[in-house]
Amino acid sequence: MTARTSRQCAIAGIGEVPARRYHPAELPTLLQLATQAIENALADAGLDVSDVDCLLSYGTEKTDSVEVSSVLGMTLDNYVDIAGGGSSSETLVSIASALIRAGAARTVVIYRALHGHAGIRTGSGPAWNTSVQTGLIQAYGVFSAAQQFAPVFASYLAQAGATSEQVAHVKAVQSRNAAANPKALYPTPVTVADVLASRMIVRPVLHLLDCCVESDGASAIVITALDRARSLRQHPIRVLATAGRVSRPSPGYYYRGELTELAAKRARQLVFGPAGLTPDDIDVTGAYDCFTFSTTMLLERFGFCEPGAGGEYVSSGAIELTGRRPNNTSGGQLCEGYTNGLSLVIENVRQLRGQADDFCPDGARGSHTYDYQPGGCRQVRSAEVAMNMGWRTPSTQSAMIMARD
């Protein structure tokens, strides 16, 4: 679904259960994770469960809207449960905005909960994905996302003239961001050399530290009409434009089309034009980081640098907290934790509010030191406009532009 403009809607609340790797004896159920994240998001907005009339979710792993609403005692007029990985956050915001504009919903909660570490891990066996395309490649021993996408990485490096060393800056930069995030699963900074020295996951290009973390946790956001959001607890963050689940002409990324051709070429048209903005207007980005190279390719294909210059862009300092356009300022899914991109949206909302939850004593109240040291600040100065970019596969992307009201 594509919402060409969403100026009437805003994100009014955010909540989460920080990513962890639980001991089996202490592991919360998925329903517990989901409901806690939702309750936290509603409390952030100053709303109650009785205010919610629509739930939208990544409806997998036993956290569908019917079960969650039953546990919370909600009465819903609408609910939608979808699957589809890293393009889901922006897609669900598109749906929420459309429902609100149509008068079919008043308060929409989007949530995602998962046992990414304690449960069945991606690629752990043939049951992971039974689609025809994936079934065919599993016959050749390709089970994990790393195995599926590594050929894209290798092709990108060859075509763009980029290097693994350049792309490794994504992990190094985000690890420094995570060092200023009290809830990051991996808060220790690493260097480019550390990334390149980490064990090889898929030869010849994909190292362990090029890959996102597997974690257990949950995220939730509250969306309502902008005029209503202005009367709630937090400063509203306007949803300017969204593009959800945009595909390229040949969705299959092995047997048809160019491996490195991304749907971002179309998705960027669907967000920048309706928002009346260009990449130069974006202050902070959240680029889906299932791998270091997905972030690099997204930033390039959405126009933050010239075609073929993604490696140069991410290694230039531009994505640092002190750079022109900081990216994944929480540490992202490479370091903070993984909830299929929804945590990246939450981080950008915090940035636009001026409330990055770092180690600044009064950060929650918007007072920051901007020292950008480990154990210090990660709030971006004067952040007014943010963009999130999703990645389901190389052939399916999504995007969203938000702004401080």
Task: Please give the positions annotated as active site.
Answer: 288, 338
Q: Supply the Cα-derived Rg of the chain in whole angstroms.
A: 20
How many Cβ atoms sit within 10 Å of the Cβ of residue 362? 9
- Tokens linked to 217: 């946790």
Bond from prior residue into 28 cis (ω within 30 degrees of 0): no
Q: Return the exposure string of 109-131: e unless at least 16 CB atoms fall within 10 Å of the residue's CB, then b.
A: bbbbbbbbbbeeebeeeeeeeee
3-class SS of residue 204: coil
Tell me the angle at which helices 264-275 and 292-301 cross, rounded to the nearest 10 degrees: 50
Nearest 10 degrees: CA dihedral of 397, 306, 295, 127?
40
| Planar angle of CA 176, 313, 188, nearest 5 degrees | 10
Q: How far is CA 392 from CA 12, 88, 341, in A?
A: 26, 8, 10
User: Would you say 288 and 294 are in contact if contact means Cβ atoms under 8 Å apart?
Assistant: yes
How far apart (Å, rounded) are the C-alpha atoms in residues 238 and 241? Answer: 9
CA nearest neighbour of 395 among 205, 206, 257: 257
CA nearest neighbour of 211 among 121, 95, 93: 121
User: Would you say 217 and 339 are in contact if contact means Cβ atoms under 8 Å apart?
Assistant: yes
User: Would you say 168 and 210 are in contact if contact means Cβ atoms under 8 Å apart?
Assistant: yes
User: Would you say 82 and 91 are in contact if contact means Cβ atoms under 8 Å apart?
Assistant: yes
Contacts of 22 (CB under 8 A, 6+ apart): 28, 117, 118, 216
Tell me the angle at which helices 169-178 and 292-301 cross, rounded to the nearest 10 degrees: 100
3-class SS of residue 20: strand
3-class SS of residue 140: coil
φ/ψ of 385, rounded to 5, equals -135, 135
Q: Which residues pair with 109 in a beta bridge?
A: 55, 222
